[in-house]
């Protein structure tokens, strides 16, 4: 774009000096015209870069979720394919449920035994109480059966809690998609044994929900960018098209000057690096954004409220970048 502005100014030179002859071709006139041109172009570029900035490192970021099962077991089925779109709740893989089903049945049987012990204890408690009234039984008998009743109640409560855990584990043998998205790096196959401890992810899931497009800008530009500012974005994989959107978040922080809980004092090795800050945007075309591949790169232009006089430069530049995408596409 700077070259385009320079070419336009060169055209103005030809009109003034050659076509119209408004100025004579003297060393002084040509030098003055060149100096004015350099100053004007520098001023335009400064205002453009500051108040209507562009960034060539826009990226589609997506949340990568490690899929870690909550139970250990052998994988029976993997019904998904790599990069195939799935909905929230769809099955990603199935762990053999039989060991957990056996545990559930065992605990259900234990609860029935404890309930039988409880009924027997309650009958004997009542009998001991009646006999104690007519002094046909000792207090110790009542105490024994009361203790047995309490023991049966505690056993039922413990077994019920274990049964709840076993049922939860049984449900966890079906591992489902946490969001709409797709699986990448799918190496999992039936017959493999998966586990949660130590943490080992058998697959990675790419979420397709609430994913921002992020680009970095200089700190001098970010201070003029505000939430809600209009943007245009072009993507390398979609040449010739420009997508509009708006700024949704500004991360005014960089990698330098981070403090952590440590006994080490800050060290200074010279002038601080000029970290670029991140700006996240949301496209107006939600369906296109949903289908945009993770890592898709491109160029972003932001139209700040203070940069209206130079918005047209960015609009032309971003569209030129979109059409130039045809030249770089294979």
Q: Does residue 119 surpass a pLDDT of 80? A: yes
pLDDT at 295: 85
Average predicted confidence (pLDDT) for the chain: 81
pLDDT at 175: 95
Q: Does residue 270 surpass a pLDDT of 80? A: no
CA angle 261, 264, 266 (to 5 degrees): 100
Confidence of residue 171 (pLDDT cuts 50, 70, 90): very high
| pLDDT mean over 134-151 | 78
Q: Does residue 40 surpass a pLDDT of 70? A: no
Q: Does residue 3 surpass a pLDDT of 60? A: no
**Pairing state between β 181-184 and 174-176:** unpaired
Q: Within a 13 Å sphere around the CA of 161, how many CA atoms are in the beta-carbon half?
A: 5
CB of 113 closer than 8 Å to CB of 126: no
pLDDT at 313: 80
- The answer to which of 36-50, 98-112, 222-236, 267-281 has the lowest mean pLDDT is 36-50
Q: Which of 87, 72, 30, 68 is nearest to 203 (CA)?
A: 68
| pLDDT tens string 82-103 | 888 899 999 999 999 999 999 9
- The answer to which of 10-24, 212-226, 233-247 has the lowest mean pLDDT is 10-24
Q: How far apart are CA 138 and CA 157, in angstroms?
A: 30
Q: What is the pTM of this model?
A: 0.67
Supply the DSSP symbol for 14: I
Higher pLDDT, 28 or 194: 194
pLDDT at 170: 95
pLDDT at 44: 64
Residue that the structure tokens 């003029």 belong to: 224
Domains of the chain in start order, with CATH, are 1-51 (no CATH), 53-62+211-254+274-330 (2.40.30.170), 64-207 (2.40.50.100)
């Amino acid at each position: 774009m700077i070259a385009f502005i320079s070419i336009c100014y060169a055209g103005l030179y030809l009109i003034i000096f050659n076509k119209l002859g408004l100025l004579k071709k003297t060393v002084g006139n040509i030098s003055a015209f060149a100096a004015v041109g350099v100053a004007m172009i520098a001023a335009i570029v400064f205002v453009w870069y500051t108040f209507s900035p562009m960034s060539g490192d826009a990226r589609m970021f997506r949340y990568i979720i490690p899929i870690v099962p909550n139970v250990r077991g052998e994988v029976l089925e993997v019904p998904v394919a790599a990069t195939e779109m799935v909905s929230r709740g769809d099955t990603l893989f199935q762990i053999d449920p039989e060991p957990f089903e056996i545990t559930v049945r065992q605990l259900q049987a234990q609860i029935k035994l404890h309930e039988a012990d409880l009924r027997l204890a309650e009958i004997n408690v009542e009998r001991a109480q009646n006999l104690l009234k007519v002094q046909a039984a000792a207090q110790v008998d009542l105490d024994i059966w009361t203790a047995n009743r309490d023991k049966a109640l505690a056993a039922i409560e413990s077994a019920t809690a274990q049964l709840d855990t076993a049922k939860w584990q049984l449900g966890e043998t079906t591992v489902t998609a946490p969001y709409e998205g797709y699986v990448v790096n799918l190496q999992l196959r039936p017959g493999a044994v998966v586990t949660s401890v130590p943490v080992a992810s058998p697959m990675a899931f790419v979420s397709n929900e609430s994913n921002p497009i992020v680009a970095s800008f200089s700190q001098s530009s970010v201070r003029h960018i505000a939430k809600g500012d209009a943007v245009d974005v072009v993507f390398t994989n979609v040449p010739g098209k420009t997508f509009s959107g708006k700024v949704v978040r500004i991360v005014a922080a960089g990698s330098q000057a981070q403090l952590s809980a440590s006994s080490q004092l800050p060290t200074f090795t010279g002038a601080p690096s000029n970290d670029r800050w991140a700006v996240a945007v949301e496209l107006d075309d939600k369906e296109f954004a949903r289908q945009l591949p993770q890592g898709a790169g491109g160029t972003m232009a932001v139209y700040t409220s203070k940069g209206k006089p130079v918005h047209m430069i960015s609009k032309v530049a971003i569209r030129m970048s979109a059409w130039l995408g045809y030249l770089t596409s294979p």
